[in-house]
Amino acid sequence: MHSVEKGVVAFMEEKDLHGRVQSVERAMMLLEVLGEDDEGNRLTDLVSRTGLAPSTVHRILTTLEQRQFIQFNPTDRLWHIGRQTFAIGSAFARQRSFVAPALPFLRRLRDQTHETANLGVVEDGEVVLINQVESREIARAINRIGGRVPMPASGMGKAILASYSQEDVTAVLSRSGLRRFTANTLTRRSALEAQLETVRENGYAIDDEEFTTGLRCVAAAVHNYQGESVCAISVSGLPSRIPMERVPALGRLVAETAQELTLALGGAMPG
């Protein structure tokens, strides 16, 4: 058998019943683990977190390093995400037509509030952070670009959920559920529904340390020309910097900024 034919046979044999390729699945799993930790991971950490054999992990890491998807620091012997992974992630953000137009609005929001301003989109029932303008304050919120949060536990997620029909809310909850992340996480649908009604009345949503203890967020949705939510913006900070008595003023400012961004994108407010 020719070498090309052998390679094709090996590739076919590697597929599981769902058509997935095992080596690709494992490489993606390692990239996801590396993407969760900015400080890097040792080989033993990756073996422990993935459950893969050390030889398998090392082989995949070496291949990914050669393609510049990851990088290895020989000094501390830690593996990190590489520039090629960043380039692909940046391409994902660029294809969202609202990322570049939203940037000046985020900068202005940061300057007005002195808090970190964020832009997020929904993907598979989760909010994905796709852009951020960090606060200049020493005590500030820093969120990881590409980080994901279930919609019910996110300010931006709830701002978007509030525009959904009951059927669409049910579809999201059937996928993500109402998992507890902190003592403040909403775990009952009735509580979530009540808060979504408040979001509709006020025009903004709050994440009161519901996903991460020590992080409060105020968010509002941005709409397309059909009045549908396409993304959301928010400001986030420490509870000491965003006490509850400051939330209404921040909420109005974030909601006004979201409305301005909606109009700048050629969108229309619902209703």
Q: In this structure, are 181 and 60 located in the same domain? A: no
What is residue 183's DSSP assignment?
A: T
Q: In this structure, are 148 and 190 located in the same domain? A: yes
Cβ atoms of 92 and 130 within 8 Å: the answer is yes
The mean pLDDT value of the chain amounts to: 86
Q: Three-state SS for 228?
A: coil
- Interval 146-165: pLDDT, tens: 889 999 999 999 999 999 99
pLDDT of residue 2: 47
pLDDT of residue 14: 52
pLDDT of residue 176: 83
Query: How many structural domains are present in the chain?
Result: 2
> pTM surpassing 0.85?
no
Over residues 2-26, the mean pLDDT reads 58
Q: In this structure, are 63 and 102 located in the same domain? A: no
User: What are the C-alpha distances in Å from 57 to residues 27, 48, 49, 67, 204?
Assistant: 8, 10, 11, 16, 45
Cβ atoms of 254 and 235 within 8 Å: the answer is yes
Residue 54, domain extent:
3-87
What is the share, in percent, of the chain residues with pLDDT greater than 90?
A: 54
Residue that finishes a domain, picked among 87, 111, 137? 87
The vertex-135 CA angle with 147 and 181, nearest 5°, equals 35
Residue 226 reports pLDDT greater than 90: no
Q: In this structure, are 80 and 101 located in the same domain? A: no
- Interval 86-120: pLDDT, tens: 667 655 555 556 788 899 999 999 999 999 999 99
Q: Which residues contact 26 (CB under 8 A, 6 or more apart)?
A: 50, 52, 56, 60
CATH code for position 58? 1.10.10.10
Burial grade of 134 (CB within 10 A; 0-12, 13-18, 19 or more): middle
| Closest by CA position to 159, among listed 247, 223, 92 | 223
Residue 126 reports pLDDT greater than 50: yes
What is the share, in percent, of the chain residues with pLDDT greater than 70?
A: 88
| Closest by CA position to 154, among listed 102, 97, 216 | 216
Query: Which of the pair, 188 or 147, is modelled with greater confidence?
Result: 188
Segment among 89-103, 164-178, 210-224 with least mean pLDDT? 89-103
Q: In this structure, are 230 and 110 located in the same domain? A: yes
Cα 87 from Cα 83, distance rounded (Å): 6
Q: In this structure, are 74 and 165 located in the same domain? A: no
